[in-house]
């Protein structure tokens, strides 16, 4: 009996230590301005959390009503801490325990375990090799003994497998092995964005803008397949070594029908939409609210309050269209939010990537090789037409020309990475990869020529020589680098050299595209 008592005491001590660690870590990580300072609010949340942990579940809600005294932000923080404190055995007490798989073990006659990646309340995740397909996967062994739960998981996987977007972690299969069930997913080598935020505090506005576009594209595909996520948060966003961000853990997704949702807690309180907290029907707009909270946190380093201040109050250089999209997503009334992920993505399409590209990133980028489309724009030397105009007129002409080119590039997602006198090196499909980058580049080149022609007609009576813009375009692998002492990226390699050579060969007013690019755009 004495040994049993010591065991129980040790178990309770371990859980208490873990609870204290969770509370302290969350308080440090979520403090707004100074990561080294634990604010009074989070200290209060930690105290209430630890007290609530000692109460039976039925008594926690009345206690929180009393302890939080109507402070909804404090209540949300305590509820999130309690969500982290789920005892795995309480979810399905009858489920048999999972015996950890050692490296080298063969699971289900097919998956060779490499290493354990993590453990949560619903199961254990391993890096494994699918020996049948010779493919590295994430193997998630789930803790459940309920036939209904297993059938629900199988339905969810059938839905999730339909989503094939780069911003969504692919789900491959769901199966059973003995008394255990498991699913296999795309393995993303990297870290979750919540961990990244702990290291860097917040991300640069241009990086958040790029991430928002990626994630909204992925959500649009998922929602079109009838899949809701219901637990979007930085911890469920993975960033790989190339900077690609993808959504993971669609394991609690539902096919859009609230009645079909699992009879298990879903979502994290601090990121939940009001209708999700109240148990009302969920929709795509529920995911958009959670995404809005996440993007706000990525931008500012803190989560929004119930009536959030615009992110620009903390980060002055945030893109106004990104800010507007985030604030719309955070509307308490679902009807006031964007009606879909595609609509919210459209709110960002007219933003100014040219300006965003000039802002410093959150961290220096390592050189990376990737397939991009490169445009080299060579504008005529001002000395060719300057003699016929005054210095003031020349300044006006060059300003109008620069603005015209910039607007075209912004409209089609071109990013200027190098300026060489009157020449510009422009990348399409960077930093966010786009399948239609070659078409965007060709369209932009033709529109630049048209814009310059209009300017020439306006000023032709005063110019000693016509405007002349030469453009070369090529697509292929290139190396993109952002050194620590630079504010602009630069690209190099044969693809860049080819684009420059094409521009130099072009006649005035001509666009030369490589044969490879023409094949890709079908011309």
> What is the C-alpha separation between 492 and 496, in angstroms, rounded?
6
According to DSSP, residue 381 is labeled P
What does the block give as tokens for 507?
A: 């006649």
What does the block give as tokens for 35?
A: 């990561």
Residue spans of beta strands (DSSP E) within 178-250:
180-186, 190-192, 237-240, 245-247
134 catalytic? Reply is no
**Active-site choice (87, 173, 189, 231):** 231
> What is the C-alpha separation between 296 and 304, in angstroms, rounded?
7
> What is the C-alpha separation between 15 and 12, in angstroms, rounded?
5
Name the strand (E) or helix (H) holding 513. strand 511-513
- Within 10 angstroms of residue 463's Cβ, the number of other Cβ atoms is 19
> What is the C-alpha separation between 72 and 91, in angstroms, rounded?
27
Block residue for tokens 């490589």: 514
What is the number of residues in the chain?
523
> What is the C-alpha separation between 480 and 105, in angstroms, rounded?
40
**Sign of the C-alpha dihedral, residues 37, 40, 44, 47?**
positive
What spatial distance separates the first Cα and last Cα of the chain, rounded to whole Å? 83
| Residue 228 bridge partners (DSSP) | 254
Residue spans of beta strands (DSSP E) within 334-382:
365-379
Q: Closest by alpha carbon to 76, among 301, 365, 276?
A: 276
Contact 365, 489 (CB under 8 A): yes
What does the block give as tokens for 407?
A: 């607007």
Give the active site residues. 231
């Amino acid at each position: 009996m004495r040994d049993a008592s010591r065991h129980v005491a040790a178990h309770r001590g371990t859980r208490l230590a873990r609870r204290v660690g969770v509370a302290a870590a969350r308080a440090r990580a979520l403090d707004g301005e100074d990561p080294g300072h634990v604010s009074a609010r989070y200290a209060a949340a930690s105290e209430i959390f630890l007290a609530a942990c000692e109460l039976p579940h039925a008594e926690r809600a009345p206690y929180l009503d009393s302890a939080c005294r109507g402070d909804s932000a404090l209540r949300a923080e305590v509820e999130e801490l309690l969500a982290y404190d789920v005892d795995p055995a309480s979810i399905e007490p009858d489920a048999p325990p999972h015996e950890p798989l050692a490296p080298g073990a063969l699971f289900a006659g097919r998956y060779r375990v490499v290493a354990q990646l993590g453990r949560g309340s619903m199961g254990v995740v391993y890096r494994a090799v699918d020996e049948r397909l010779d493919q590295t996967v994430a193997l998630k062994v789930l803790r459940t003994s309920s036939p209904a739960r297993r059938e629900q998981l199988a339905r969810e996987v059938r839905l999730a497998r339909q989503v094939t977007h780069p911003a969504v972690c692919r789900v491959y299969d769901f199966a059973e092995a003995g008394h255990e069930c498991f699913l296999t997913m795309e393995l993303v080598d990297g870290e979750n964005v919540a961990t990244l935020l702990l290291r860097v505090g917040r991300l640069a506005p241009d990086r958040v803008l790029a991430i928002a576009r990626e994630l909204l594209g992925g959500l649009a595909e998922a929602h079109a397949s009838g899949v809701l996520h219901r637990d979007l948060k930085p911890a469920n966003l993975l960033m790989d070594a190339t900077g690609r961000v993808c959504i993971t853990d669609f394991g609690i997704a539902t096919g859009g029908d609230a009645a079909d949702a699992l009879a298990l807690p879903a979502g994290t309180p601090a990121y939940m939409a009001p209708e999700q907290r109240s148990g009302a029907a969920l929709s795509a707009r529920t995911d958009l609210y959670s995404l809005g909270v996440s993007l706000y946190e990525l931008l500012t380093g803190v989560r929004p309050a119930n009536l959030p201040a615009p992110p620009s109050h903390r980060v002055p250089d945030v893109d106004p269209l990104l800010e507007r999209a985030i604030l719309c997503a955070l509307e308490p009334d679902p009807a006031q939010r964007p009606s879909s992920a595609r609509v919210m993505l459209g709110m960002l399409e007219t933003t100014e990537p040219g300006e965003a590209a000039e802002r410093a990133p959150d961290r220096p980028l390592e050189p990376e090789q990737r397939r991009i489309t490169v445009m080299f724009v060579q504008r005529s030397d001002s000395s060719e037409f300057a003699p016929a105009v005054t210095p003031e007129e020349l300044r006006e002409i060059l300003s109008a020309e620069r603005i015209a080119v910039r607007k075209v590039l912004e409209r089609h997602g071109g990013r200027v990475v190098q300026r060489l006198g009157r020449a510009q090196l422009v990348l399409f499909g960077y930093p966010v990869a786009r399948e239609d980058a070659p078409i965007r580049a060709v369209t932009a080149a033709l529109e630049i020529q048209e814009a310059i022609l209009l300017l020439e007609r306006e000023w032709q009576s005063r110019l000693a020589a016509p405007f002349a813009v030469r453009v070369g375009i090529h697509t292929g692998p290139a190396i993109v680098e952002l050194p620590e002492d630079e504010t602009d990226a630069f690209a190099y390699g044969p693809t860049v050299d080819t684009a420059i050579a094409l521009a130099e060969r072009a006649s005035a007013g001509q666009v030369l595209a490589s044969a490879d690019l023409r094949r890709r755009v079908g011309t």
